[in-house]
Structure 1
Amino acid sequence: MTLQSRIAEKLDQAFAPERLDVIDESHLHAGHQPDMTGTGETHMRVRIVSESFAGMSRVARHRAINDLLKPELDAGLHALAVEPSAPGEPTRW
């Protein structure tokens, strides 16, 4: 199972999103550091719309996702961009 699919599965189970995209952006970061080749799953973007985020601040939403994905971050995920929304809120995507 890929890191991308593990992240999607965890988010799906924890937040029951009505919309979810987990995007591997690793290729966009090739050369940013000597060991960043653009291969592997080092940079992920999460776009998620879930009722679970209703009434939560932006910081609380980010913390909830970061807490859930802490094992992946500790295991080598270098960067995680998070775009969480509640249903009915505008998104840029």
Structure 2
Amino acid sequence: MREKLIVALEPTRLDILNESEQHAGHRSSPGTGNSHFRMLIVSPAFAGKSRVERHRLVNEILAEELGGLIHALALRTFAPGEKFE
């Protein structure tokens, strides 16, 4: 997942937090330990794009994972120079 994002987006910052443990035992959780993620991505690829366009781009890159492995994905996406903290 990380490698796909690096190759496709060339991010200047990529934080991936696995929050699956917080959802263990939930009925909708697949129980794989790799189902719920929170990401912060700063990439020049996001410049001039809306938040929806940025999220769609990430979803396209991770389409295979979103089709099975990933149950939930929380995204914060920014272009370089945009405030995010």
Superposed pair shares fold, TM > 0.5: yes
Return the match for 1:64 from 57, 62, 65.
57
Residue deviations 1:9-56 (CA, integer Å, cap 9, x gap): 00000000000011111011123327565x610101111101110100
**Alpha-carbon displacement from aligned partner over 1:44-82 (angstroms, at most 9, x marks no partner):** 111110111010000000000001101001123111111
Specify the alignment match of 1:32 in structure 2. 26
Give 1:72's aligned amino acid.
E
Gaps of 5+ in 2: none
Conserved 8 A contact 1:44-1:80: yes
* Structure 1 unaligned regions, length at least 5: 1-6
Between 1:63-72 and 1:24-33, the stretch displaced more is: 24-33
Partners of 2:63 and 2:19 in 1: CA distance:
19
Cα distance in 2 for residues equivalent to 1:32 and 1:53: 34
Does the CA contact (< 8 Å) of 2:40 and 2:75 recur in 1?
A: yes
Residue 89 (str. 1) matches residue 52 (str. 2): no
> Which residue pairs with 2:67 in the alignment?
74
> Percent identity, aligned pairs only?
49
* Residues 35 and 85 of structure 1, relative CA distance in 2, 3 Å threshold: closer
Instruction: Check whether the contact 2:29–2:71 (CA below 8 A) recurs between aligned residues.
Output: no
How many equivalent residue pairs?
Answer: 85
RMSD of aligned Cα (Å): 1.6
Whether 1:13 and 2:3 are equivalent positions in the alignment is no
SS in 2 for 1:41: coil
Query: Following the alignment from structure 1 to structure 2, what is the Cα–Cα distance between the partners of residues 67 and 36?
Result: 22
